[in-house]
Amino acid sequence: MLGREPFLTDVELARRLQVSVATIRLDRLSLAIPEVRERTRHLAKKAAATVVSMHSDEVVGELIDLELGRWAVSILQTKQGMGFSETGIVRGHHLFAQANSLAVAVIDASAALTAGAQLRFLHPVRTGESVIAKAVVRTGQAQRKLVVVTSTVNHTTVFKGRFIIWTGHLNQLTTSESSMEAKR
């Protein structure tokens, strides 16, 4: 079960397997399976080492898993300051930032920039909730890729985004800027 869903907590495992949390902890210890925080930390270190389009610490949320050019997963632990003070609902720009940075991070190129996006906020997120975002590279031409990002909280989809990501190399970007300057 943890192989398929490594972010399950002991409490969630106990609920699904209909045993006590103590049983889960003892079984985990006897099988040398670390607790969820340690599993998450291990996955994050492994994923961060492979990002090429940006520094891994620029991803909003914690990068958990990544297969360059195919898919990526991050977790954003929302905090008090991210939400409106009256309602505790997380402001949309935090969800967008997580999704956008993940869409760029999944790209296997030395430069990747967001060229366009279609966004749908489907369900409110409350401060304190963990948002899991998954980015999948769908299609693309040589320098434009479609990346679809779906964000969930407790298996409920809260955000969907379709990002057009320009890909290339930094020298192409500076060459394009130079030619635009010359035309002015």
| Pair 145, 55 in one domain | yes
pLDDT at 182: 45
Q: What is the mean pLDDT of the chain?
A: 83
pLDDT at 183: 46
| Pair 129, 155 in one domain | yes
| Pair 29, 49 in one domain | no
Among 15-29, 60-74, 85-99, 101-115, the range with the most confident prediction by mean pLDDT is 85-99
| Pair 89, 136 in one domain | yes
Residue 74 has pLDDT above 80, yes or no: yes
| Pair 22, 98 in one domain | no
Q: Which range of residues forms the domain containing residue 102? A: 44-183
3-state DSSP of the chain: CCCCCCCCCHHHHHHHHCCCHHHHHHHHHHCCCCCHHHHHHHHHHHHHCCCCCCCHHHCCCEEEEEECCCEEEEEEECCHHHECCCCCEECHHHHHHHHHHHHHHCCCCCEEEEEEEEEEECCCCECCCEEEEEEEEEEECCCEEEEEEEEEECCEEEEEEEEEEEEECHHHHHHHHHHHHHHC
* Mean pLDDT for the stretch of residues 154-168: 93
- List pLDDT tens digits, range 29-72: 888 787 777 766 666 565 555 565 556 567 899 888 888 888 99
- Are 104 and 165 in contact by the 8 Å Cβ rule? The answer is yes
pLDDT at 66: 83
Residue 156 has pLDDT above 70, yes or no: yes
| Pair 54, 108 in one domain | yes
| Pair 157, 73 in one domain | yes
Identity of the amino acid at 129: E
For residue 63, which of 38, 36, 42 has the smallest C-alpha distance?
A: 42
What is the rounded CA–CA span in Å between residue 99 and residue 96?
5
| Pair 138, 52 in one domain | yes
| Pair 13, 73 in one domain | no
| Pair 50, 134 in one domain | yes
Q: Is residue 39 part of a domain?
A: no
**Number of structural domains in the chain:** 2
